[in-house]
Structures are given as structure tokens and as C-alpha cells.
Amino acid sequence: MNANFFAAVLLMLSAFVSIVYGLPTGAPTTACKSMTPNHLNYRPQTSASPFRTVPANTLMAVGENLDILLETTATNQFRGFLTMAFDASNTGAGPIGIISSVSDGQVIECTAGFLNAATHVDNVDKSQVSLVWTAPADFTGTVVFWTTFVQAQDIFWVQVPSATVTVA
């Protein structure tokens, strides 16, 4: 076997790896628990994120809808995201509420039967994404939105917190 054959095989394998790990069509539900992208051996950034999650209000009623904006704070743009809402006093219990109306993305089930996460549908640069979160009818307390922002395969921030929202 010659060197050209091995080069062709290596090229095909590298294309397969980028398809498996690239996921330009959004985060899989397996990412829900850690909110960490499976981008080969890259680690999350530890610097302050140039992106943020901005709730339209910091006070809302039980069962009410809340507009949420994912946006850049600089000239950087993000290509991917995964956003969920959590009870700020018990984030380990999993995401709460329902997400809908994602302007440049889709909703996924991070808890079976509940569309409680939003993610991207492509890896095109974005400076803003809007979505709507609906508070659970039986929840009162404080909510925090965590978003993982992906700028590039090797540049991403995990669980960037929003300002808290009180549901009363």
C-alpha cells in the first residue's frame, strides 16, 4: 500500500471526526447534564464571557412568559448555544419551565416530555438570539438561566449565568 492510500484514509477519518464532534445542528440531549460541548479535547474558557443572557424582567408571575435575549457584549459573535432555566436554590434538580419561540434555534427536551432547553440549528455567526421562557405553574422562587456559548470549536464558555429572576 502506498502513501497516497494512507493519506486518503486519514483524510476520510478526519472528516468523520469533525462530523461526529462538530454538531453544527445543535447540542444533543446528552449535553444537557453538564452543558459542555463535546469538542474533542478542548476545555472551556475561564475568562469572562463576551456573551450574556439577559432576561427582560427580574420579577414575573407564576406561569407567565418571559422574553430572554442571548447577546454579545463585544464585537465577538457566537455560533452555538445551549440555554436552560434552573431554580437558583437547587440547580442540581435540573432545568425548569418551558422554552419556546427561539429566533435562531430550536427547543429540545432535556427532561423527558418538557421542551426546556434551547440550542442552535446551524453554526452561522450570531450576535443575538431571542427566546421565550414560561415559568412553571407550581413554582415560586428565584430562577437563573445558564447558557453555554460556543464561539469556535476550541473557544466556548460553559454555564454562563444570567441575572436572577424572581417568580412570585
Which residues fall within 8 angstroms of residue 142, CB to CB, at 6 or more apart? 87, 88, 89, 164, 165, 166, 167
Is there a domain that residue 154 lies in?
Answer: yes
Q: Kindly report the average pLDDT of the chain as a whole number.
A: 86
Residue 34's CB is within 10 A of a number of other CB atoms, namely: 11
Is there a domain that residue 82 lies in?
Answer: yes
Is there a domain that residue 106 lies in?
Answer: yes
Is there a domain that residue 6 lies in?
Answer: no
Report the CATH number at residue 78.
Answer: 2.60.40.4060
Is there a domain that residue 1 lies in?
Answer: no
Which residues fall within 8 angstroms of residue 75, CB to CB, at 6 or more apart? none
State the pLDDT at residue 9.
Answer: 37
Work out how many domains the chain is built from and give that number. 1
State the pLDDT at residue 5.
Answer: 42
Is there a domain that residue 15 lies in?
Answer: no
Residues of the chain with pLDDT under 70: 1-24
Q: Which domain holds residue 82?
A: 22-167
pTM to 2 decimal places = 0.83
State the pLDDT at residue 22.
Answer: 46
Closest alpha carbon to 106 in 129, 77, 76: 129
Is there a domain that residue 74 lies in?
Answer: yes
Is there a domain that residue 10 lies in?
Answer: no
